[in-house]
């Protein structure tokens, strides 16, 4: 039970990213369906399997503008793989089986199922429809020979991995094969972890905020192999990079339509990642010294980019660099990070040590409000793992009320809130394109630490850099169950943690003008279970 349908849809979408099975959300008609639409759009653009069940008015009331009536097909047809309505009670299991199949087959995505009120009240025999198997594809002999020939001719090959259709077994097998052959791999934006952060073959993320050497990879490589994703808008910097039709691009995706791709396609292999990797690992190629030198050069650039800054605090106000340096040093190997949208995500992209598949859960469609719901979903799915989310102040307030859900069900993520009292990404675009014409980006915020405590969690506000290590340790100690909070929850309650973290400065509107003032930052912790 979530506090808002948008939060519920985000949690289901995050669940679909983690588990290779559709996340499930159930909402009411009209307003509930409208609120869930944001999660549906995220699932559509991020290729995430999701099934949204929507309550509908009784059949007898259709077309009379009944209470909360809406046209489910008109609303969702353009943003879902399929929209279905249960029109006969005896078809209930069949419709569910079809919905699950549609969400997972081909390019994964969202499916909407309408449930009329009168139909779901009927009693039927509980006969279950068999699960419909999903085809995984694989390399044909022609595919295998074409890829082997392209790799044999390439001097600077590069793999790009992405999407949500992976398993840890497949990710590990690909990593081993790449390392054995000294071939580099980059990660699609907000898909880090498929190739481990510390792998000698991993050369960094390709997306917004990437360093220039990583961006240059797209033009420098003579063979690109995309696995689980395609060269879309973000990877190609607005369809500008990798547009030379003489370049070789191999696209490995189960989607035969190649929806969302940009630039040339030399060869498509219709396969899910695991099936492709199963066949790829049978391909033994001689180790090439030019591959080794190419991979080591780009790996060196990634290591320079991702090495955490000095952990010792500086004088003055709290800095995200200090927070990340201390956080990274405290993380276990299986730590997870979730992200919404905004410039605050750049620190996690750069420094968070993603070591396995699904250790970074984020919204690649740039949807704000995703951080807290996705962190709760991750914490509930993997209760033994350290889950961290980094949120902006505006982004946090879009679904921060889901801390109540965390408290109710025992989710325990650490939430870092960058409170600069503005929509930072939009502000940066305004500064770049319309200097000194700031409009609609300044925020008046509550005390996030007090919010965390009000929801029964741990909350601390950090304004000085010298206080960052102690505040982080207190938040992590609280999450481990040690009693450091001023207001312990009642017996059996869990605790989320919120650390409000202040950037060096932010700008607020004052009496029609602008003034530079210090900015707060916050950390939040969900409740820790108590005996």
| Distance from C-alpha of 440 to C-alpha of 456, rounded to nearest angstrom | 33
Separation of alpha carbons 399 and 494, rounded Å: 19
> How do 521-527 and 414-418 pair as beta strands?
antiparallel
Compute the distance between CA of residue 379 and CA of residue 363 in angstroms, rounded to an integer: 17
Instruction: For residue 182, give the nearest of 155, 212, 161 by alpha carbon.
Output: 155
Q: Which pLDDT value is given to residue 240?
A: 84
What pLDDT, on a 0 to 100 scale, did the predictor assign at position 486?
A: 33
* pLDDT, one tens digit for every residue, the chain (531 residues): 999 999 999 999 999 999 889 999 999 999 999 999 999 999 999 999 999 999 999 888 888 888 878 899 999 999 999 999 999 999 999 999 999 999 999 999 999 999 999 999 999 988 899 999 999 999 999 999 999 999 999 999 999 999 999 999 999 999 999 999 999 999 998 899 999 999 999 999 988 877 777 778 888 999 999 999 999 888 888 888 888 878 899 999 999 999 889 888 999 999 999 999 999 999 999 989 999 999 999 999 999 999 999 899 999 999 999 999 999 999 999 999 999 888 888 888 899 999 999 999 999 888 899 999 999 999 999 998 999 999 988 899 999 999 999 999 999 999 999 888 778 788 888 888 888 888 888 888 889 999 999 998 899 999 999 999 999 999 988 765 433 333 333 334 446 777 775 554 333 222 222 222 333 345 555 444 333
Query: DSSP code of 251?
Result: E
pTM score, whole prediction: 0.88
3-state helix, strand, coil in the chain (%, to 5): 40, 20, 45
Query: Whole-angstrom Cα distance, residue 504 to residue 458?
Result: 23
Nearest to 357 by CA among 226, 202, 196: 196
What is the pLDDT at residue 311?
Answer: 92
Structure tokens at 65: 């503008």
For residue 522, list its beta bridge partners: 417, 500
Residue 49 has a pLDDT of: 97
Q: How many CA atoms lie within 13 A of 175 on its CB side?
A: 22
What confidence score (pLDDT) does residue 523 get? 52
Answer for the pair 273, 227: CB distance below 8 angstroms, yes or no: yes
What number of other Cβ atoms are within 10 A of residue 126's Cβ? Answer: 7
- The pLDDT of residue 115 is 96
Query: What per-residue confidence (pLDDT) applies to 525?
Result: 52
Contact 223, 157 (CB under 8 A): yes
Indicate left, alpha or beta for 277 from its phi (over 0: left) and psi (-120 to 50: alpha): alpha
Q: At what angle do helices 468-479 and 320-330 cross, to 10 degrees?
A: 40
Strand, helix or coil for residue 471: helix
């Amino acid at each position: 039970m979530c506090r808002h349908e948008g939060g519920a849809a985000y949690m289901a979408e995050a669940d679909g990213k983690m588990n290779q099975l559709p996340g499930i959300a159930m909402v009411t008609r009209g307003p509930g369906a409208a609120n869930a639409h944001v999660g549906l759009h995220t699932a559509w653009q991020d290729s995430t399997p999701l099934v949204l069940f929507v309550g509908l008015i009784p059949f007898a009331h259709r077309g009379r503008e009944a209470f909360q009536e809406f046209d489910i097909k008109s609303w969702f047809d353009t943003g879902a793989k399929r929209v279905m309505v249960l029109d006969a009670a005896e078809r209930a299991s069949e419709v569910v089986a079809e919905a699950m199949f549609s969400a997972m087959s081909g390019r994964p995505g969202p499916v909407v199922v309408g449930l009329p009120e009168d139909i779901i009240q009927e009693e039927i025999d509980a006969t279950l429809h068999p699960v419909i198997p999903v085809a995984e594809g694989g390399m044909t002999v022609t595919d295998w020979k074409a890829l082997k020939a392209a790799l044999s001719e390439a001097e600077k090959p590069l793999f790009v991995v992405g999407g949500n259709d992976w398993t840890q077994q497949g990710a590990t097998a690909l990593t081993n094969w790449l390392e054995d052959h000294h071939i580099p791999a980059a990660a699609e934006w907000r898909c880090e972890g498929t190739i481990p952060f510390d792998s000698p073959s991993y050369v960094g993320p390709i997306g917004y905020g990437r360093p220039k050497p990583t961006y240059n990879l797209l033009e420098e490589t003579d063979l690109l192999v995309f696995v689980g994703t395609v060269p879309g808008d973000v990877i190609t910097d607005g369809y500008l990079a990798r547009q030379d039709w003489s370049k070789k691009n191999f696209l490995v995706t189960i989607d035969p339509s190649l929806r969302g791709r940009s630039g040339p396609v030399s060869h498509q292999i219709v396969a899910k990642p695991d099936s492709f990797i199963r066949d790829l690992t049978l391909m033994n190629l001689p180790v090439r010294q030019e591959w080794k030198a190419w991979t080591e050069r780009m790996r060196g650039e990634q290591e320079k980019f991702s090495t955490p800054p000095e952990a010792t605090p500086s004088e003055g106000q709290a800095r995200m660099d200090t927070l990340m340096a201390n956080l990274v040093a405290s993380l276990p190997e299986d730590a997870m990070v979730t992200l919404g949208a905004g410039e605050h995500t750049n620190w996690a992209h750069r420094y968070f040590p993603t070591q396995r598949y699904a250790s970074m859960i984020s919204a690649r469609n740039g949807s704000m409000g995703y951080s807290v719901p996705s962190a709760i979903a991750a914490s509930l799915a993997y209760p033994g793992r350290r889950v961290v989310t980094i949120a902006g102040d505006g982004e946090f307030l879009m679904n921060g009320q889901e801390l109540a859900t965390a408290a109710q069900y025992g989710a325990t993520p650490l939430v870092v809130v960058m409170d600069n009292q503005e929509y930072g990404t939009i502000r940066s675009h305004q500064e770049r394109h319309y200097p000194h014409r700031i409009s609609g980006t300044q925020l008046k915020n509550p005390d996030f630490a007090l919010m965390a405590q009000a929801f029964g969690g741990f909350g601390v506000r950090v304004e000085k850099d010298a206080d960052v290590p102690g505040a982080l340790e207190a938040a992590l100690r609280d999450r481990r169950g040690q009693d450091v909070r001023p207001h312990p929850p009642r017996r059996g309650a869990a605790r989320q943690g919120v650390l409000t973290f202040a950037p060096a400065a932010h700008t607020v509107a004052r009496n029609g003008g602008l003034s530079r003032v210090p900015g707060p930052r916050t950390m939040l912790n969900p409740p820790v279970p108590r005996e």
